A and B are shown apart, each in its own frame.
Chain A
Amino acid sequence: MPKLAPPLSKIFIDWDEAEWAFDFLRETLDRLGIDNPDDPRFALTLQDGGRTLRLNMGNWLVQDFYASNLHRVGWRVALDLIHDQLVPGMSQSLEHLPRATFPATV
């Protein structure tokens, strides 16, 4: 795989990881009912000096991708989950997130 270009290289370690993250974003947006990039109900923003990629929906944070050096404890991904609404099997799958951590459910 070719080298990942900035500014996404600040967040993702390599092309594979970025590819996975964008697939994951796509799946999340699908589940949120967003089917095109022009839907104004969501926003993808770059924060923390370009070291965080954030998916916002309405006035909620839905998903964060962090640079590996952003959080000392190693957080890489934050998800907004409502535990009663988890897709069956998803909590098990989360344990296999690559180099990722995830937030507590709310």
Chain B
Amino acid sequence: MAQIGARFRGWKACVWRKSNQPAIAEAVFDLDKRSQLFSGAEQIILPITEISDDDESPIGFGFENGTGETSLQECFDHLAGSAQMRLAIQWFNSLAEARAKERLIREHAYRRISELAVPLKLAALSIDDFDRHILKIGGLVYSNGIPAEENFLPGISASELRAMFQEGKIHTVGNCTWGFGTATIRAAFARAGVKDDAVIQEKLQFALRELQNDACLFESESTEFSPIPYTALAQSGDGAFDDSASRQVDCHERQITPGTQAAGLETAFKHTVENYVVFTRFARQVQSMYGLHDLAEVDAFFSHYVDLSPEERERILELFGKEGPIITILNPPYPLTQCTQETGVDEATLARWVRAIHRKGRPSSMARPARARPTSPKSWRST
């Protein structure tokens, strides 16, 4: 219980506080009020609270690209357990120094994003700040604002980089990631009580449009965005990691064509947000399957790998692929349909449980007791 208390020590309110029964709560602490409540001496109105699962439903993950092509989710599902992915993880695991350094950079980037990704602060950001701190491809800059010439300072070791961070000589810009920045923004909206996916998107788009009016960055370009088809990701093997695949999920690397701006922007932003969400789900899957420490490490892996040239990637895959992937998948995907067949629990219920576990971070289950026959309440109190 103390651990649970510690977990929620910093919370401002229980999510069901509005349904709290103050009369019962007072009776827990005050024996006189307890007697009144138990005896019914005082007419206390106790409205029943029915908390439906819909009230708690998190943001959905559905994604349709609207073109009839393979969806990003399907592509990622295919990619997660592929031989190419296992070889790439195998290669990444062999790079202890680079792994530590990349993770360090992302931890700093995430901390920065979490400071900014609060709705009020977000609305106060200029489009340049929004772009620089949240949407831009990640990088390092020196404290005087000059970008590090080589994006992640390849000649610097992890310990040296840590010291530079601690001394305030450098800091991160951009989200250093494909997806977690915007996912964090969405989480911030959710914490603020906005749960509806469409509403969140609308607010994000509104924020972006408002910001544009300040800086006119996009207006000056007079462009609309054309989402790139997703067929590239459907390819197995090298195609899944090629440059076009990585660009699709990065707002900063958008394709731009002349035309009207407003509708195109909303479409592009919607696609970006959806891509981010789908990618985050994929990243969690990779983290679980390959035993990576956290999402920062997953992100470090992807960025490190995708930043390589196609020739370098090919060479690595050849080097590690001579005898086939030796890495073990710790938690292979276990489709709900299979679980339904093996347990008899319907898929909708399982999906609801999965959402609850993702939302709360732990399962809650019930079982019959080993021994549960009546004894006196006093015996419990006296133990």
Contact = CB atoms under 8 A, between A and B. Distances in A.
B383 A89 contact: yes
A31 B2 contact: yes
Interface in A29-58: 29, 31-34, 36-37, 40-50, 53, 56-58
Contacts of A46: 21, 24, 46-49
B334 interface: no
Interface string B26-48: 11111000100111100000111
A104 B273 CA distance: 38
A61 interface: yes
A99 B377 CA distance: 9
Contacts of B374: 98-99
Contacts of B330: none
Nearest to A92: B383
Contacts of A61: 364
B304 to A, nearest CB: 35
B40 A5 contact: yes
A37 B365 contact: no
A5 B29 contact: no
Contact of B377 (A16, A60, A92): A16
B9 interface: yes
B293 interface: no
Interface residues on A, range: 35 or more
Contacts of B367: 103-104
Nearest to B42: A5
Given A26-B28, A29-B28, A43 B17 contact: yes
Contact of B25 (A17, A23, A44, A80): A44
Nearest to A2: B39
Contact of A58 (B11, B26, B371): B11
A33 B20 CA distance: 18
A106 B364 CA distance: 6
Nearest to A63: B1
A75 B365 CA distance: 12
Given A6-B40, A60-B362, A93-B380, 16 more contacts: A5-B37, A5-B40, A29-B28, A37-B22, A37-B26, A44-B21, A46-B24, A47-B48, A57-B8, A57-B14, A60-B364, A62-B1, A62-B4, A96-B380, A103-B365, A104-B365
25 contacts: A22-B28, A32-B1, A33-B6, A37-B28, A45-B16, A46-B48, A46-B49, A50-B48, A58-B11, A59-B14, A60-B4, A60-B360, A60-B362, A60-B364, A61-B364, A62-B1, A78-B366, A85-B1, A94-B369, A95-B370, A96-B379, A101-B366, A103-B367, A104-B365, A106-B363
